[in-house]
Amino acid sequence: MIRLNDIIDKVASYSDIANEDLDFIKKAYIYSAKVHSGQKRVSGEPYLSHPLEVSSVLADLKLDVPSIVTGLLHDTIEDTLATHEEIKQLFGEEIVFLVDATTKISRLPHVSDVEKQAESFRKLILATAKDIRVVLIKLADRLHNMRTLEYLPEDKQRRIAVETMEIYAPLAHRLGMNWISVELEDLAFKFSEPGEYDRIRKTVSTKKKDWEKYTNEIVSLITAKMKEFGIRGDVSWRFKHLYGIYSKMKKGNISLRNIYDILGFRIVTASENECYQVLGAVHSLWKPIPGRIKDYIALPKANNYQSIHTAVIGPFGEQMEIQIRTEQMHRIAEYGVAAHWRYKEGDLLENGNDKIYSNLRHLVELKDIKDSAEYLEAIKGELILDVIYVYTPNADLLEFPVGATPVDFAYSIHTDIGNHCSQAFVNRKLVPLDYKLKTGDMVEVVTSKNRAPNRQWLDFVVTSKAKNRIRSWLRQEENRKAEQIGEVITHRKLAAKGFNLRHLREKKKFEESLAKLQFSEVKDFYRAVGFGDAAVTDLLKAMHPRKFAEGAEKSKRIKSIVNRISKDEYKDAVLVKRYDNILIKFGKCCNPVPGEPIIGFITRGRGITVHVYNCPKLLEVAPERRIDVAWNDEYSGRIPVGLSVRCENRKGILSELTSTVSGLNVDIVRADVSEDEIGQGDARFEVAVENITQLEKLIESLKNLGGVISVERLTEISHPRPDDLNREGA
């Protein structure tokens, strides 16, 4: 376990630490040790080891004393009996703000994991807008948690690893903190794709042994050539990190043996001019590979990264990547926003000229997205790493994620331009609106007041701004139409009962009745009627309770039936915020099981349908119909899942399949076997599992059986239907 003196030595190496600063750090250490006393991490280590390690990472980032102190105290409010007031009294306003900002939201009942994740991240970003150190402390916290992830259960390992890969590693990259983003990616890769991780790790380990024989010779050749050109600089080498290799394999759809630039060299010089001289020196040594020269000095990345990249055929016939940068560029590349945060203190929204702060401002601007799933989707969209650069007709350079279209371009200029975009010209040629832009394109859009967004645009836009503006437009249109429909229905049904709506609206009783139904304006009531969320009879009962009470007994009978319907055997598996007794159905398109991220949506007259968080079906659902749901941790039942096992049709294989299923404590509900023309079998099982971890283990075990060709998870299995349940309860 790291010691306090180690942290103090690190701080002293880059800062003139005064006696009062030293006392402040020691005071925080003593307090943290006291409140965490007796607590242990899952690894068995004293809990104090975690805040010490977090503070050590912050010292590696060369942050100030308040940051180091916050590292020692960051878990006190969340995990001990320490209070906000006590921290404020002992350590002051600055520290209590930083500690509170890095504390996750409290665990609330009937709140889904997606909502908790979204709200914790929303809180983090809004606090970061006030003080950039908040996100740096949070990244240090996440880094140490990932370093010790092996001690958690497998399902938690995977969930945290996926979250790290989707949000925290890209966030570190967008902030220019290369060494943290690389380590987070590799650790997340290790736990989210353990098989691929081990395979690549072993192969790279073998290559390292071969290449290490030649690296010193290559460094000597480069150093000698630089001396010949009269350039001073440091030359170092490194292997591409494991996730970098894996992502390159996936992106290019190539095998590991075809990744040639696993080895890379870095040259750090004194000036920008020398960087270009070094490029010439390297190319005089070895032939460059066409199309592989990238000048990020002239055109920096969005996170302020600057460097020249070139790839050459080295002296031993292997491809090598060489990066060339100045000392200042290297410091920014490794530490990013942490390298110059002192000069940008204050509200980051005021720092408009800094690209890194611009990235954070974009995240802050997403704060008003209410839907948790939509908010997380927008955040991930803003953190996309691969970018292109295109020009406006005025030669302004704009940055977009790879895959961006003219519609994304239009919304980046102004919402009205995006909403009324009708045509697009790229390099003065007419292109479709879903055309994928490329670096160097000059883009111009034409607007028309008769043109409006449509739902198909969501299929091809990639920027979060475009998606949010399109959804906002569609919601407004749906609300407007629902309002019109609801007004017509209200007029007709009231007229059928002998009432005139215009006369009713002139009476105070009408407004009072709307208020009883929790509608502040009549248009809100119309909209609810249009969506099927309210009924005109409710309004009549509120205005004339005695006259329309004869339907009360019928209403009770209906409610009784609904309650019986709601008591299906899977209802207790899912919690719905604000609803204690409502019909729960699982989407047949994805058939979720406990442990998978889920989201629900309201279906007219059919309760809540639950889907896996990333189910494509959800794209067709209006966002306002989404509702946050969560798995019930206390649910002890099992969920049915369909499996299709393609296998050799040999004697005894069915017995092996069923034994494997039973051996993992999984119940077999139904099994069917068929044979095709080429002598292969197709075994279809309906099994009942406790959670996603058990299902994944089952699938992996079946795949490892001799004679099994493939195992696929099915979605089309039978669940109890509401009408069946109604008949059973009648």
* Residues noted as catalytic: 78-79
Unique residue bearing structure tokens 């000698």:
224
8 Å CB contact between 379 and 123: no
8 Å CB contact between 596 and 639: no
Helix 133-147 / helix 178-192 crossing angle, nearest 10 deg: 40
Unique residue bearing structure tokens 């105070």:
508
Q: How many CA atoms lie within 13 A of 144 on its CB side?
A: 24
Tokens standing for residue 697 = 């283990």
Q: How many CA atoms lie within 13 A of 174 on its CB side?
A: 25
8 Å CB contact between 634 and 611: no
CA-derived radius of gyration, the chain: 31
C-alpha span between 137 and 337 (Å, rounded): 12
Torsion angle in degrees (nearest 10) through CA of 265, 268, 273, 277:
-40
Amino acid letter, 286:
W
Tokens standing for residue 75 = 């878990």
Q: How many CA atoms lie within 13 A of 510 on its CB side?
A: 14
DSSP track, 330-396: HHHHHHGGGGSGGGG-S-GGG-TT-HHHHHHHHHHTTTT---HHHHHHHHHHHT---EEEEE-TT--
Read off the DSSP letter of residue 76.
H
C-alpha span between 71 and 64 (Å, rounded): 11
Contact residues for 632 (Cβ-Cβ < 8 A; gap 6+): 572, 573, 574, 575
C-alpha span between 592 and 539 (Å, rounded): 38
Three-class SS state of 111: coil
C-alpha span between 483 and 730 (Å, rounded): 37
C-alpha span between 484 and 489 (Å, rounded): 9
DSSP track, 200-263: HHHHHHHHHHHHHHHHHHHHHHHHHHHHHTT--EEEEEEEPPHHHHHHHHHHHT--GGG----E
Helix 522-531 / helix 464-496 crossing angle, nearest 10 deg: 100
- In angstroms, the Cα distances linking 471 to 474, 475, 477, 485, 681 are 5, 6, 10, 21, 46
